[in-house]
């Protein structure tokens, strides 16, 4: 199963995203680079976002990917991680004073 992952094209897409994120992060630390980057035309910014973030999300479901065998423990791990993630999100919203449900209802009504 892991052999399929290391030889698949998904690894290339993931690696490109990680490298792009790291380069963007360190470039953002320098004021000179940040000022030069903000002067680039908007088409360059939009192309970067399209190539590194939107395009992989559209292409990845169509690429044959390695499958993980389903076991009960994978379901349990998924449920635990989901509950932990939702709990962290709720506490974060509570800490900064935003109640997401109130704003969602305002848009519906």
pLDDT in tens, the chain (109 residues): 455 655 666 677 778 778 877 877 777 777 777 777 677 788 887 888 888 788 888 887 787 777 767 788 888 998 999 999 988 888 887 787 766 665 554 444 4
Q: Give 63-105 as a DSSP string.
A: S----PPP-HHHHHHHHHHHHHHHHHHHHHHHHHT--HHHHHH
Task: List the chain domain ranges.
Answer: 1-67, 69-109
Structure tokens belonging to residue 15: 């690696």
Q: What is the pTM of this model?
A: 0.37
């Amino acid at each position: 199963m892991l052999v399929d992952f290391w030889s698949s094209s998904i690894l290339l897409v993931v690696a490109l995203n990680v490298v792009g994120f790291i380069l963007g992060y360190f470039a953002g630390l320098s004021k000179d680079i940040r000022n030069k980057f903000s002067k680039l035309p908007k088409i360059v910014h939009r192309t970067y976002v399209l190539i590194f973030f939107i395009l992989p999300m559209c292409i990845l479901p169509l690429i044959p990917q390695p499958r993980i065998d389903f076991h009960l423990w994978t379901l349990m791990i998924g449920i635990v991680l989901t509950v932990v993630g939702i709990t962290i999100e709720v506490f974060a919203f509570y800490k900064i004073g935003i109640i997401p449900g109130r704003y969602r209802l305002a848009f519906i009504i």
